[in-house]
Amino acid sequence: MDNTILLGAVAYDPKVVSIWEGIRQYFNESGTPLDFALFSNYERQVESLLAGHIDIAWNTPLAHVRVRQRTAGASLSLGMRDSDRDFHAKIIVRTDAGITSLQDLHGRRLAVGSRDSTQARILPLHFLKEEGVDLGRVHLVPFDTDLGKHGDTGTSELDVLRALVEGRADAGAVGDLVWVLEQAAGHVDPARLEVLYTTPGFDHCMFDALPTLSPVKREGFVRSLFAMRWDDPVHRRLLELEGLREWMPPREEGYQSLIDALAEERTLAAAG
Amino acid sequence: MTADRWEERPSPAGAIAIDGGDLPLGGGLLALVRPALTLLEPGGLLAILSRGRGVADDLESWCRAERNDYLGAEVLGDGTTHYLVRRGRFGVHRSAEPANDVAQELPPRADAATGFAPHGTVVEAGGPLYPFDLVERDHVTAPEVTELYEQAVAAQWSAARDIPWDTIPRHEPALELAVRQVMTFLAENELSALYVPSRFIARLHPAYVGVAMFLATQMQDESRHIDVFLRRARATASPSAISSSTTSHSLHSLLQVHDFTESAFLLSVLGEGTFLDLLAYVERFAPDEATAELARRARIDEARHVHFGMAHVRHALAHDATLYPRLELAVRHRAATLSGTGGVPAPVQDALTIYAAGSSDPKRIRHGHDAFRELLATMHEGRTRRLRSAGFTAEQAQMLSDLHTPNFM
């Protein structure tokens, strides 16, 4: 029986090829045969996983929640990045916009990322609503770039920051990593932009599999994945490209806010 | 925060407090936070006093991005907030003690992962492995290398400025040709002495950069020698010189040697050592002041190369006695490669004879021929003396000198 794991990933950037070629080589050398298939969008990747065309999918939170729901919670969660835990979204404002509270957002322009971006659109809006902001009274300035990529490219978040700097929006929603890394790199003028609000934490990407995944594949995958080390130059190159320092075991509680947000959207859609 | 709060969070990994003033995280605060964290071991505590706008929002996110633990904030009365961060286990750690550069001893074996990081640097883990394969201290360096490097730097001279080129007269045609042949032969050999060390610099681990720096001065010397020898050759009114296949085979065989110590032995101890006597000959019988001066200056440089070659080989032999048979084998192997290529190349022998005679007059030529024969004997004595000094027995030294290339280098 062929025990080669077929893993699906979405090609949101040319570096995705380097990442998975590197991981494929490392897995094969560490005794876990693995190959990968690249998709152009998460919707098709989720369908392919559910149809059994691939064994494991490297999924965004949105894709992960869909897999959980479509399998009635029976899917296997295999692992996540350290950077996937305790993600936050930030509402950034122009310092000259005179916005000092969430209520001040009413009547103002709020730049948001792609409609399938968890950190730059879905959850910041969900939490703003929970905080009592009436989204019907906020003028959304959406950047629906790279749809299907679920915000992976980060393009729409950089679009949001640019819109703020250029005065095309008064406030904007971005993920915390983009925000602090842009600051740490010296790309943000702290005199012009500041944080108005930080959302509660939520979790990000996850390796998903169907419950029918063979134990050999499952154990091999987990063993090789968690043997990767930051101090190993070969592993480190891959971990840097994928944006993590170490792989972490899965956990589900970090997706509840997204599940709630999607349920609300469905309710609204049904009502509308 | 007061001293009592520190005692609530005891940390064996150390604690540091910094005052961030009113700097925002993305507006300079990180330039204080990041260096402070490198002074802590994983688990160490960093206290940050800050009046910066937005720091409360940004510091926690930054800690998550960099895998440090954000432990919380305490608002003090005067608009200042006191943040506490526990350093994570990634990233580099450096001792808070002043670096003691004098006490930095060269490592016996260098680590390929430290790359070009200067010796003594704190090297972050996870860098690529470099392809340096000369990584054993006692096979590449010698205690004298720093002093020889300093001497070399102080002794640099200029081919254009330091040779009295305008004193060269027109000599008789046979002597003009002899000068061109001798100078061209010297340049050809010095070209090999330029190329051979370059192959080892690229393989030397930068922990032993002192050796690479000395070799760089050696290469600079050789470049200058090539320059003056060719200038002198081209200052003659004579037909072209000949490059013999014996010379070509001999120099080619130097490029076949991949061991640094074997190469230093063949090139510097035996080859350049022999050249010291050749250059003394060229100076002694020089037909004009410019030629005497360039030979004198080249010989002083070459003596330094021989000195380093000797120091290197002696040091390596002192640490690895198995090198004796290996060096002997290298000489035998080269001699076998060159067997059948003939003796001293005829154009060189004839040119050196006429050069020493200073004329094509048969009576003078007899003296020139005697001088050449004396040169061969002097070279053999010099080699034997240097081999004895390196630690070979009299018998071995005699035999190895006899096996040396007829091309001198």
- A215 contact partners, CB below 8 Å, separation of at least 6: none
Nearest CA in chain B to A85: B64
Reported as half-sphere exposure (CB side, CA atoms, 13 A), residue B359 has a value of: 6
Phi, psi (degrees; rounded to nearest 5) at A194:
-150, 165
Q: Is pLDDT of A168 > 90?
A: yes
Q: Under a CB-based contact definition with an 8 Å cutoff, are residues B24 and B53 in contact?
A: yes
Q: Is pLDDT of B8 > 60?
A: no
Residue B251: how many CB atoms within 10 A of its CB?
Answer: 22
Band (B1; pLDDT cuts 50, 70, 90): very low
Percent of chain A with pLDDT over 90: 89
pLDDT of residue B73: 96
Q: Under a CB-based contact definition with an 8 Å cutoff, are residues A143 and A114 in contact?
A: yes
Among B32, B33, B64, pick the best mutation site for testing chain A contact (most A Cβ within 10 A): B64
Nearest CA in chain B to A182: B26
List pLDDT tens digits, range B105-153: 889 999 988 999 998 899 988 888 899 999 999 999 999 999 999 999 9
CA A184 to chain centre: 21
Q: Which residues of A touch B27 (CB under 8 A)?
A: 190-191
Lowest mean pLDDT among A27-41, B19-33, B101-115, B261-275: B101-115
Q: Which residues of A touch B24 (CB under 8 A)?
A: 190, 194
pLDDT of residue A218: 98
pLDDT of residue B5: 47
Q: Which amino acid is at B318?
A: A
Q: Are B58 and A182 a contacting pair at CB < 8 A? A: no
Residue whose structure tokens are 């192997």: B333
Residue A149: how many CB atoms within 10 A of its CB?
Answer: 22
Angle at A184 between CA A179 and CA A186, to 5 degrees: 100
Q: Which residues of B touch A230 (CB under 8 A)?
A: 90, 125-126
List pLDDT tens digits, range B349-377: 999 999 999 999 999 999 999 999 999 99
Q: Which residues of A touch B57 (CB under 8 A)?
A: 90, 194-195, 198
Average confidence score pLDDT of chain A? 95
Rounded to a whole number of angstroms, the distance from the CA of B26 to the nearest CA of chain A is: 4
Band (B6; pLDDT cuts 50, 70, 90): very low
Q: Is pLDDT of A178 > 90?
A: yes
pLDDT of residue B4: 42
The encoded tokens of residue B309 equal 């070659």
Average confidence score pLDDT of chain B? 93
CA A59 to chain centre: 8
Rounded to a whole number of angstroms, the distance from the CA of A241 to the nearest CA of chain B is: 14
Q: Are strands A206-209 and A109-112 parallel, antiparallel or unpaired?
A: unpaired
With CA atoms as reference, report the closest residue to B61 among B85, B81, B89.
B85
- What is the three-class DSSP state of A152? coil
Q: Is pLDDT of B12 > 80?
A: no
Rounded to a whole number of angstroms, the distance from the CA of B192 to the nearest CA of chain A is: 38
CA A242 to chain centre: 12
Average of per-residue pLDDT across B72-95:
92
Q: Under a CB-based contact definition with an 8 Å cutoff, are residues B31 and B61 in contact?
A: no
pLDDT of residue B3: 40
Q: Which residues of B touch A176 (CB under 8 A)?
A: 61, 64-65
At how many degrees (to 10) do helices B289-319 and B173-201 cross?
30
Q: Under a CB-based contact definition with an 8 Å cutoff, are residues B26 and A186 in contact?
A: yes
- Distance (Å, rounded) from C-alpha B318 to C-alpha B284? 37
pLDDT of residue A122: 96
Q: What is the DSSP string of B167-229?
A: G-----HHHHHHHHHHHHHHHHHHHHHHHHHHHHHTTB-GGGHHHHHHHHHHHHHHHHHHHHH
Average of per-residue pLDDT across B21-26:
94
Rounded to a whole number of angstroms, the distance from the CA of B270 to the nearest CA of chain A is: 43
Nearest CA in chain B to A183: B26
Nearest CA in chain B to A193: B54
- Distance (Å, rounded) from C-alpha B175 to C-alpha B159? 23
Average of per-residue pLDDT across B223-245:
96
- Distance (Å, rounded) from C-alpha A240 to C-alpha B211? 35
pLDDT of residue A171: 98
- How many cross-chain Cβ pairs, A to B, lie less than 8 Å apart? 68
Residues of B with CB under 8 A from a CB of A: 24-27, 30, 53-54, 57-58, 60-62, 64-65, 67, 90, 113, 125-129
List pLDDT tens digits, range A51-93: 999 999 999 999 999 999 999 999 999 999 999 999 999 999 9
Among A183, A194, A238, A248, pick the best mutation site for testing chain B contact (most B Cβ within 10 A): A183
Q: How many residues does chain A have?
A: 272
Nearest CA in chain A to B24: A190
pLDDT of residue A272: 59
